[in-house]
Structure 1
């Protein structure tokens, strides 16, 4: 897909847009999970899609009016926050978030046809992908050197062009670059998912969804490195107005950081407005990125066959979402959420095992009763009645399981 020339004069678009009038940017090239996330939303159907090489470029398209909105990855359940996106967002003060998508992430090792694993000497992909497949690569291609790429699809392109032997990417990217999957499902942790944000200029793209649970996000640049801010942010997070609020920080330059905040609820709700007010009073540099509907469910690869159309999503053949009251659809959402929860619990169990190993190795006990009390209180405050029972079940599952 041909990109617009940077700096080209494109008249700004005001008001709501529909169908082929819309233009959406995404972190490319073609074949990224970000493109898949964009294909999954109703607003993108029948629209022109513009691939951008970086998050900054994608946001610049929107700021200049070349695109009406852009989809960008912001967080992965295994690899954490995406620094490139947050650093680009903090430099784009005119943009807000209008929608989020949560996409299940499953990786494949893509290579040119006929390439055996024994001949793979170099593997490329996004650094976040490497974090999620490190164990698999060490076990199956220990001889391979990792070559970082701006995106997984860019890694696949380098394999097609003979610059690299294999790439870590979504299996759906294989056909686009004339590659074939030599192995699928290579992610180390089951149930990993990436959260994407659709960002637009205020007032240009309306996404009505008043019945969905809401979220309000803020972002700002603050002085100090992430390690220097831990104590301050910990004390701030403990304030009674900020229960349920997520504070994430990534490094920005040599002596500053970007703080990204998620508050449950919409800004017109009293608890949310109170939390936002306290945060902006404590950190005047924080700006609101707006309130928007939370993703109703995680989209997994088995669902993408119905919701994603790499060859185009226009016309009558595009997938049709069942009615919101359809029990079958709701059960699918529950199954997807359960899948994500199980994957998260597996990761928690592994972390607990490592802590227990370190404690017992140093002569300590496996269980820290004070720590468990804090965890139980956190669950109770967030989930209300029944939260302590959930905490007890999680703690019991993770307690005392030290590998022999």
Structure 2
């Protein structure tokens, strides 16, 4: 398995932003995917890069003037929103996003040289990494206990210092900490990507910036994530917001934090309407600023107002198009095969839960849990996600979806 490297096709709009002798912070320590994302930018060449232990610490360095910008992970296509980053953005004073980077992520199991898998008792990594390798660990190292870490590189540091037995991180992280790659490519889902944001204080840059085609907002909600489903469903159904992505995470107390993505920049009427409506309905939301999105936008985030097609792509020959369609249909067939297998596993797990609940005198159905499932599918898949979740829940209850 090759070591993950920045995909040049996923870089933001070309052109170096005017950052003379800038200082960058990033979620560290050294050897994180976030550092890899930062180093993929031409602005990072020759700049001073400072690792931070947490997202909050990285943004604090920016707010205090000790760093000019901070690179942080915000979303993964498998594990979802990075809660620590979203909470840190909501808690920080006014910030703006300068640009984003999207990187493919692949994981490896790192150990001290000579460690055998059977001797591993503790495995550490970022919670998002844990969500992406849980199936592999359950089948290959069932005796190991998972210990979350602020970052995958911090988990590697713990292994080096004998605080745990193994770490989940990128293969490239091993060299930073004198570790060995015991197993590579351990992620449960191939093709996952993580999105990173470069954040700074407003007004820090000078001169022209690349064209903006994404606008993000963040803010607190009084309701917990599981209680905010009705509010978010109402927002998603509004004609102005159907192409807007709305995601919530717990704020660590009694409420939640909303992170919203709108396709388009401030100069586009549809984006201005969406941002205005969101701030009217949710006055606590703060605009993180329009900024250039990565050239490659994952398909789950595409909308009619967020095209990246080039003139050259539009002029593809019919023959090339037919080959591409055949290749993509083969890929869809493979994905369908994986989905069916996963659905069967989910169905069995759900029915086992129902058997346990009914044996103990409880109800077969948990309405609160079902509402959370609907909310999660709606967040990740848009307005069609609720229908997918309902069909899935009907099947798990033993009823065929209509």
Counting only pairs closer than 5 Å after superposition, residues 193-208 of structure 1 correspond to structure 2 as: 193-205=193-205, 208=209
| Runs of 4 or more consecutive aligned structure 1 residues displaced over 4 Å after TM superposition | 324-327, 341-362, 378-381
Aligned-partner SS, 2:271: helix
Task: Please report the TM-score for the alignment, with normalisation by the length of structure 1.
Answer: 0.72
Question: What's the TM-score once normalised by structure 2's chain length?
Answer: 0.72
Contact 2:109 2:181 (8 Å CA) reproduced: yes
* Residues 58 and 70, structure 2, Cα contact 8 Å, conserved in 1: yes
Matches within 5 A, 1:3-402: 18-19=19-20, 21-205=21-205, 208-210=209-211, 214-297=213-296
Consecutive unaligned residues of structure 1, counting only runs of 5 or more, are 1-15, 300-323, 363-370, 382-390, 392-401
Report the Cα distance in structure 2 between the residues aligned to 1:63 and 1:215, rounded to whole angstroms: 23
From the superposition, tell whether residues 358 and 134 of structure 1 become closer, same or farther in structure 2 (CA, over 3 Å): closer
For residue 73 of structure 1, give the secondary structure of its aligned residue in structure 2: strand
Tell whether the 8 Å contact from 2:237 to 2:383 is kept in structure 1 after alignment.
no
Q: CA deviation at 1:351?
A: 5.9
- Cα deviations by residue, 1:234-281 (Å, 9 ceiling, x for unpaired): 011100011210000111133211011000100110000011111111
Give the Cα–Cα distance (whole angstroms) in 1 for the partners of residues 340 and 284 of structure 2: 38
Q: Quick one: structure 1 residues 70 and 140, their matched pair in 2 at CA, closer, same or farther if it must change by over 3 Å?
A: same
Preserved contact between residue 96 and residue 288 of structure 2 (Cα < 8 Å): yes
Q: 1:353 to 1:176 in 2, by over 3 A?
A: same
Residues 99 and 198 in structure 1, CA contact (< 8 A), matched pair in contact too: yes
For residue 297 of structure 1, report the CA deviation from its aligned partner. 2.8
- How many Å apart are 1:298 and its aligned residue? 7.5
Deviation at 1:17, TM superposition (A): 5.3
Task: Identify which range, 197-206 or 353-362, moves more after superposition.
Answer: 353-362
- 1:190 to partner: Cα distance: 0.5
Secondary structure of the 2:73 match is strand
Give the 3-state SS of the residue equivalent to 1:103 in structure 2. strand
Q: CA RMSD in A?
A: 3.4
Question: Quick check: 2:63–2:93 contact (8 Å CA) kept in 1?
Answer: no
- Deviation of 1:122 after TM superposition, in Å, equals 1.3
**For the residues of structure 2 that align with 1:195 and 1:350, how far apart are their CA atoms?**
28
Distance in 2, matches of 1:295 and 1:177, equals: 31
Per the TM alignment, residue 31 of structure 1 is displaced from its structure 2 partner at its CA by 0.6
Deviations along 1:274-303, one digit per CA (max 9) or x if unpaired, are 11111111111111110011111379xxxx
CA distance in 1, matches of 2:345, 2:118: 32
Contact 2:236 2:383 in 1 (8 A): no
